[in-house]
Structure 1
Amino acid sequence: MSEWGSFIDETPSGQSPPPPPDHAPAGAGTDGDDGWGSFADETPAAGGAPPPPPSVPPPAPPRPYGVPVPSPEIAASLLTEGETLWAQVDGAEAVLGSGCRVAVVRGDDGEAGAAADGFSGWRPVTVVDPAALTVRLVPLDLAEPPVGTATPVAELYTDPEPYTAAEPGRVGVFPVGQGPDLDALLHRAQEEERARVRAAVEADTLRAERELTAAKAESRERAEAAEQRAAQREQRAQEATRRAQEYAEQQIGKARDEVAQVVWQWQDRAQRAEAEIARLRDELAKAEQAGVLRHVLDRRRRAGGGRDQGGMRGA
């Protein structure tokens, strides 16, 4: 099927071909023409309008209401060289799905020209120069495929094995006296139920034992952690008590030193006061002795003076 070509394979990845226009382009026939393409040399049907001359540009595809046609600058900025698009081709001009007009060039010399195969309408084109808005038509492979290349359509849709309707099935008579032993079935069902219950009980027991073991381990860990915290608190309390005792002993020692210093100072002052008292007593005794001597001398002097006066009087 490669000789026939495929529009789908020629469409670039991530892009989908635009839908066909709602109305047939100018120059297309009205008898069995869907507007997707037409031959350039096709004569119009009776009563149809003649095709427009090559100088008339192809009509723009219908645009949704309120959507403006982009400017050539915007269209050129969105195109990429080598990109394959779908366009409505008519001669040497084409209209993209956005409504922007582009020029069609031939692949050999790059000059403007119509399609060599004569097909117009919606067909894939390749962007040659985005800045110049020029495209090249993708050639269509119109050769007949050789015999044996493809499978005929009739053979594709032929059922190789004809369908035969089967006879309707009917329910047979009730098998009296046939079938398995019901007692054995009930007994096996009871044994299976007992085994299931026993397995469930064992599983529950194992799960309970695991949970109990985990709970004991968690309780043990919590108890050990609590003991460690209590030991740490006790150690901190003992350390605080020891520091308090040391501080109290230091304060008591300082108080004793201060008391001893004060006692020594008072003792020193008392000794000095006693020495001063003794000195003052000695001075007082000396002063008393000096006063007594002075008194005695004064009396003697007085007594001697009286004698001198009496002698002088007798003389």
Structure 2
Amino acid sequence: MFLKQLQYLREIERYKSFSKAASACGVSQPALSRAIRQLEDELGIVIIDRKKKVFGVTNEGARVLKWAHDILKSISELRNEVSVTRQAIAGHVKIGVIPTAVHIVPLLLEAVQARCGDFASEVSVLPNGTLIDKLVSKELDIGIMYYDQCPQAKAFEVRTLYAEQQVLAASRTFQLPEGEDISWDAASRLPLALLTREMRCRQLVDVGFQTAGAEPTIRRETNSLELIHAEVMEGKVATILPILSFPLRVPPPGRLRMLRLPGFSPGAVGIVRLSEQITSEFASDVWDIALNTNFQDNIDSLCKPRPVPPTA
């Protein structure tokens, strides 16, 4: 039995397609199919139910898949352990995070560094579905995502990290009200760039406008935070996003104003992992550090107005 066969099997389960799995693995579909046939012959069982029009695995195949995930996870941990030993570092952790929570990661990693010393990490920015899949396949140790999007099942352990703070952000080219707040009605009259409707962040924004009885002026819809940031900084549009989704260290003070929207129902961002998974001691330490780090104070401080530098 070769590790490549188990990797192929994992990707087939993920994509529910031989052709997509082959593309993800960088091999031809015939080569991938042949490898799975060889694995089935070696084990003396049928793993993939090829009689059904819809992809499925047999009962025996489901057990093989579980072993495949465990074996591949163990191999990954072994490689990480060897790397940790060679580099003389505290450990290695794999974290997945949704795009709108990406700036929580530096805060977490700083807290881990302060507690544990030098360490290695892999951070993947992923949509909810992919993040969950990678937790299930044990390719991630920890996921950070909207709490209400986390799987509420015994197989997962879920905890809340912080309440999200969404703000309206615009450059100084727009005339915005003085103070720290803006009404939903005033926000609706600005040309807005928003995330697409399937994203949880956008759904919360839509609820805010609907509750206020306001119809937003939408000029851009995209799943790219980078595009929204670029257009906002160019002064073409305003936006409503979680404050932690902005490249906070990039805009100089005064270039961007951020105003709170009264009555906004914030989403809760949570941390999730497989409850049954035997993680490394270091990954468990990172989990505990995340739960004991006060992210809320950092978010609240970011929502305060930033001073405008004096003009020459």
User: TM bucket by the smaller chain?
Assistant: under 0.3
Structure ID, larger Rg: 1
Given the two structures, how large is their TM-score scaled by the length of structure 2? 0.18
Structure showing greater relative contact order (alpha-carbon pairs closer than 8 Å, 6 or more residues apart): 2
